């Protein structure tokens, strides 16, 4: 005995309520507007770097007029330390980011997957440290860097102090990330082994 199937009526775009048709374009328009607002300070900085010093206090412009490379020539020729400054910034950014991601991943995995005594208390203490304002931590961080580790005027001192000051947020983010991963994925990796 055959069952009769009832076809569901299809709705045309004209049958949709006005808000349902407009919410996606409005959402993307707001995203584009916010992106432009966020990029504007960086764009103005780049534009002003291509303008002569005499034009810096002129009304804001979105395109360099007149265009010049004099500022870059001065930086590259007048400052002998500029390559070292650039190298220091690059080394600091790369090493601090890699160290922070590595350590936060280890701690986040431990908090998300392992069970050990005091886990919840320790995680709450780490979250509580995020509530301390950064200005309140400047003196203790400097004291720790000077008295304990003798890190003053060293690149690794700057890196370690920065990683320790922003460690709590990274641990929180990585813990939430590992909690979202299904345990079946880990079990499959253990079964497959390193050679897969």
pLDDT tens digits, one per residue of 145-186: 777 777 778 888 888 888 887 789 999 999 999 999 888 888
* DSSP code at position 132: S
DSSP secondary structure letters along 93-118: HHHHHHHHHHHHHHHHHHHHH---TT
Within 10 Å of residue 68's Cβ, how many Cβ atoms? Answer: 14
Band (4; pLDDT cuts 50, 70, 90) = low
User: Mean of the per-residue pLDDT values for the chain?
Assistant: 86
Q: Is 168 exposed, middle or buried (0-12, 13-18, 19+ CB in 10 A)?
A: buried
Is the whole model's pTM more than 0.75, yes or no?
no
Q: Give the residue, 36 or 145, on which the prediction is more confident.
A: 36
State the pLDDT at residue 186.
81
Confidence category of residue 3, pLDDT binned at 50, 70, 90? low
CA-nearest of 125, 115, 127, 120 to 172 is 127
Residue boundaries of the structural domains of the chain: 22-78, 82-181
Secondary element (H or E) of residue 31 = helix 18-49
pLDDT for 5 = 58
Q: Who wins on pLDDT, 116 or 8?
A: 116
**pLDDT for the residue numbered 8:** 53
E strand spans, the chain: none
pLDDT in tens, 22-32: 999 999 999 99
pLDDT of residue 120: 93
Q: What is the pLDDT of residues 82-137, one digit of tens each?
A: 989 999 999 999 999 999 999 999 999 999 999 999 999 999 999 898 888 878 88
Give the per-residue pLDDT at 6.
Answer: 53
- The pLDDT value recorded for residue 137 is 83
Res 184: pLDDT: 87
């Amino acid at each position: 005995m055959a069952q009769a199937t009832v076809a569901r009526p299809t709705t045309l775009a004209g049958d949709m309520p006005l808000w349902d048709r407009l919410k996606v374009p409005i959402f993307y328009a707001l995203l584009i507007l916010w992106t432009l607002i966020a990029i504007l300070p960086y764009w103005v900085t780049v534009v002003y770097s291509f303008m002569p010093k005499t034009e810096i206090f002129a009304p804001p412009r979105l395109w360099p007029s007149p265009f010049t490379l004099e500022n870059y020539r001065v930086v590259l020729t007048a400052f002998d330390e500029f390559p070292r400054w650039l190298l220091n910034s690059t080394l600091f950014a790369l090493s601090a980011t890699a160290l922070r991601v590595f350590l936060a991943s280890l701690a986040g995995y431990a908090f998300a997957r392992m069970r050990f005594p005091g886990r919840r208390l320790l995680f709450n203490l780490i979250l509580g440290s995020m509530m301390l304002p950064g200005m309140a931590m400047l003196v203790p961080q400097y004291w720790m860097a000077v008295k304990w580790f003798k890190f003053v005027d060293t690149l690794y001192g700057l890196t370690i102090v920065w990683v320790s000051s922003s460690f709590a947020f990274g641990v929180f983010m990585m813990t939430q990330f590992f909690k979202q991963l299904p345990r079946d994925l880990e079990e499959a990796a253990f079964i497959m082994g390193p050679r897969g």
